[in-house]
Amino acid sequence: MSNSMEPARITNPVIARAPSRALRGLPVSSDTPRRWAFRPDRDWRFHSSTFLFDVAHVLINIACSTVFRWDVRGRENVPHSGPLIVAANHASFLDPPIIGAAAAWRLFFMGKEELFRIPCFGWLISRMRAFPVRRGMGDRRALRWTLHLLDHGEKVLIFPEGRRNRSGELLKAEPGISHVILKSKATVLPVAVSGTDRILVHTRPFPTFGRIRVRFGEPLTFEEFYGQSLREAHEAIGDRIMSSIREMLQSMPRR
């Protein structure tokens, strides 16, 4: 009888032939989603670069500290271990790297599938721990991968609104984040970001100077909703997350 504590063997021949350097990012086990397990040569996570991520992190910190004079508060609220869902408002392409640099994390984050088709830019974000999601439909592939990351203790950035929002008013949370919370039972860290939308403006060819502010709220848990259906719990979970983000945004100076 085999030992139940023994790690599952990788029986897929494609995975077995994958070079060891390709498997640095995450363990591949029997619970790895099949969509990713069969094609490591096309899988974004096999090409992520820790070195590139760390270099970008240093450069972003230097730029934010000197040029954009960022104001980061609430770092003491950041859990240092365990799986974590980072839930933030989203107004700019700059939000994922800014949040990751502010917390000194190697964050995984979703990006709309179209971004990965852009030459050079798609190559870059695929090596910065971004993974694609199809918008406008329930993307089971992205959902399975998010749950897999959390199951292995990773930190995943999710934008509850589901898209960039430059209106100045927060939208209601999409059901996706509630689904992930109920399935993973992970802690949620609300984050508010301000100023990134004034730096990259689609009507201007070059970035503009402005101050960036980041606030990390108190971690949220939702044990009272575990076991409930998504339909029953979604609105309450989403409202609680968005309320926390809204309070932090309202506490920030306008400029």
CATH of the domain at 109: 3.40.1130.10
Distance in angstroms (rounded) separating the CA atoms of residues 115 and 96: 14
199 closest CA partner among 25, 14, 53, 60: 60
Per DSSP, the three-state class of 190 is strand
Distance in angstroms (rounded) separating the CA atoms of residues 233 and 102: 31
Q: For the residues of 10-26, what is the DSSP string, one character each?
A: ---HHHHHS-GGGGSSS
In a domain, 29, yes or no: no
In a domain, 224, yes or no: yes
What per-residue confidence (pLDDT) applies to 31? 45
Distance in angstroms (rounded) separating the CA atoms of residues 205 and 120: 18
36: number of CA atoms within 13 Å, CB side? 25
Structure-block tokens of residue 151:
């199951």
**H or E element at residue 71:** strand 71-73
What per-residue confidence (pLDDT) applies to 229? 86
Higher-pLDDT residue of 206, 41: 206
Q: What is the pLDDT of residues 175-186, one digit of tens each?
A: 999 999 999 999
Q: What is the pLDDT of residues 31-67, one digit of tens each?
A: 444 444 334 344 444 455 677 778 888 888 888 888 8
Examine the pLDDT at 158 and tell me if it is beyond 70: yes
For the chain, give the percent of residues with pLDDT over 90: 34
In a domain, 40, yes or no: no
What per-residue confidence (pLDDT) applies to 209? 78
How many Å from the N-terminal Cα to the C-terminal Cα in the chain? Answer: 66
Looking at every residue in the chain, the average pLDDT score rounds to 79
What per-residue confidence (pLDDT) applies to 200? 73
Distance in angstroms (rounded) separating the CA atoms of residues 47 and 115: 16
In a domain, 9, yes or no: no
Residue type for 91, please?
Answer: A
What per-residue confidence (pLDDT) applies to 237? 96
Q: What is the pLDDT of residues 59-112, one digit of tens each?
A: 888 888 888 889 999 999 988 888 999 999 998 888 998 998 898 778 898 888
In a domain, 6, yes or no: no
In a domain, 73, yes or no: yes
Q: What is the pLDDT of residues 16-33, one digit of tens each?
A: 333 333 333 444 444 444
In a domain, 31, yes or no: no
What per-residue confidence (pLDDT) applies to 8? 38
Domain, as residue range, for 103: 50-250
Residue 215's DSSP bridge partners are: 73, 192
Angle between helices 175-184 and 230-250 (to 10 degrees): 110
**Total domain count for the chain?**
1
In a domain, 5, yes or no: no
The total number of residues written for the chain in this structure? 255
Categorize the per-residue pLDDT at 249 as very low, low, confident or very high, splitting at 50, 70 and 90. very high
